[in-house]
Structure 1
Amino acid sequence: MNPVERAKVYADLSRDLLAQKNEPLTLERIAELAVQVVPGCEWAGISLRTARSPAEPGASTGPLVQRADELQESLQQGPCYDTSVENETHIIGDTRTDHRWPEWAARVADLGILSVLSVQLLGAEGELLGALNLYAPQVNAFSRNDLDEAHLFAAHAGGAIGISREVSGLREALRSRHLIGVAQGMLIQRYGLTLDQAFNVLARHSQESNTKVRDVAAQIVEDGSLPATHDEVRVASPELAN
């Protein structure tokens, strides 16, 4: 591709990724597009840094990739695992002869994966989100040009993941505010509380039950069950006793 063609490809790619409705769909689309964009890539997957794991499988183009990524997580070894942990690019020309990750390499070679390229997925602030995992059934499938293309694609992909998470966070915050507002309204109607008193009831129950205020509100709204008797409401809002 010449520079103009490449610019158009990546402009279309960015619009495509930003059009996805949530993070899982964004991750799936990234994996699909990676196969189209990086010439040597036959299969692709994504490993994410999460609270549960430094390299949790997030999306893949099929069961073969899913298995390869799950093996890296369970064995805690492999190029993509190390990329997610160390923020470094790793490449394998032949999994049958590479000895850096012996157990994992031998097992994926048996699956038919011979070449691997793993590059970092970075957020807008440079934070390490995980790794883009590119696989091929041929030996030495990834050239220097493929490596450059993978890094360019990963830069767009990481930005899309970051935006998707930000949008999801805003949506969740709005949903939480809505739930809390509805729950306050129910308490106001039933007990004749003020808006602040109703929130005090939610906060008190949240503290005593070690439950998030949002979850207390959701219980009220979704189940129709109130978290406190009338006497407990008075305790939570002492000014009512006066």
Structure 2
Amino acid sequence: MARDLQRAVERPDVMTRTVRAAVALVPGAEDGSVSLVQGRRRITSEGVSSDLPRTFDHLQVATGQGPCLDSAFEHLTVRVDDLSADERWPDLAVRAADTGVRSCLCLQLFVEGDDLGALNLVSRRPRAFDDESEQVGLLLASHAAIAVADALHLQGVRRALANRDLIGQAKGVLMERHKVTSQQAFDLLVRASQDANRKLVDVAEALTATGDVGG
């Protein structure tokens, strides 16, 4: 399992392999997903193994409550023996009754700045998860967290390189247009960014795409 995760270099691939391994290895797990909270606001699902966890994730977002959200936001391991009888998330329990989810296990996966992740495992059977499930899940999550961190770092490096290229292209446009030096072109970009109250890379992208810094 650890080698399989290490071979995954893109974040979606890491999430998919993490969920696949968890469903195969964690006692009681039938399906799973990873909840991603970006900027502590936007919530999405990745690595979803079937429509069941996808629907369950959507219901938690819609109701603003649930074990997966608690796990991500509160950095907790949350185990639900029987969702229909659990009083912690009453709105979710009512709306999730038709999904078939009866028990679940949610484990914090990673914290990267304001981005959070939780591994969510579900079952159609009540009391499907036990202490062994938690122990195996936590071990898997610790391996997955390393792989996710590596993938996020790689994403950051690629984004930085792409931004550098965009800014370089925009500087070239300004140097040709205004017959200025590289530093002067960069200063013009910075000034345009400040005047428009936009990120430097967004101004550069607009300039290279349209020939104008945009509004």
TM-score, normalized by length of structure 1? 0.79
Moved more, 198-207 or 28-37: 28-37
1:72 to 60, 72, 95: 60
Which letter does structure 1 place at the counterpart of 2:203?
A: V
Q: State the 1:128 CA deviation.
A: 7.7
* Larger RCO, structures 1/2 (Cα 8 Å, 6+ apart): 2
After TM superposition, give the deviation of residue 218 of structure 1 in Å.
1.3
Matched, 1:90 2:58: no
* Rounded Cα–Cα distance in structure 2 between residues aligned with 1:137 and 1:227: 54
Separation in 2, partners of 1:190, 1:88: 56
How far off its partner does 1:49 sit?
2.6
Aligned pair partner of 2:26 in 26, 30, 38: 38
CA separation of 1:128 and 1:145: change in aligned 2, threshold 3 A = farther
1:88–1:120 contact (8 Å) kept in structure 2: yes
The list of structure 1 runs, each at least 4 consecutive aligned residues, that deviate by more than 6 angstroms after superposition, is none
Paired residues of 1:45 and 1:57 also in contact (CA < 8 A): no
Out of 190, 201, 221, which is 2:177 matched to?
A: 190
Aligned to 1:20: 9
Q: How many residue pairs are counted as aligned between the two chains?
A: 213
Between the aligned partners of 1:175 and 1:209, the Cα distance in structure 2 is 22
**CA offsets 1:163-197 (integer angstroms, 9 cap, x no match):** 21111111111111111112112221222101111
Instruction: Tell me if the contact between 1:42 and 1:136 (Cα under 8 Å) persists in the aligned partners.
Output: yes
The one-letter amino acid of 2:126's match is V
- 1:231 alignment partner in structure 2: none
Sequence identity percentage: 36
User: For 1:111, which of 99, 110, 115 is the aligned residue?
Assistant: 99
Q: How far 1:123 moved relative to its partner?
A: 4.5
Deviation, structure 1 residue 208:
1.0
Q: Which residue identity is paired with 1:85? A: F
1:11 deviates by 2.9
**Structure number with bigger Rg:** 1
1:174 is matched with which residue?
A: 161
Whole-angstrom CA distance in 1 between matches of 2:17 and 2:131: 24
CA contact (8 A) 1:84 1:128 kept: no
Output the aligned Cα RMSD: 2.3
Cα deviation, 1:146-169, whole Å, max 9, x if unaligned, reads 111100111122222222111111
Q: TM-score normalised to the size of structure 2?
A: 0.89
Q: Cα distance, 1:44 vs. partner? A: 0.4
Unaligned runs of 5+ in 1: 1-9, 229-242
Name the CA distance, whole Å, in 1 between partners of 2:185 and 2:32. 50
Unaligned runs of 5+ in 2: none
Distance 2:52 2:141 in 1: 21
Distance 2:105 2:97 in 1: 14
CA distance in 1, matches of 2:21, 2:2: 13
Deviations 1:16-53 (A, max 9, x none): 3xx233x2333233223321221311110112232252
Q: 1:213 to 1:162 in 2, by over 3 A?
A: same
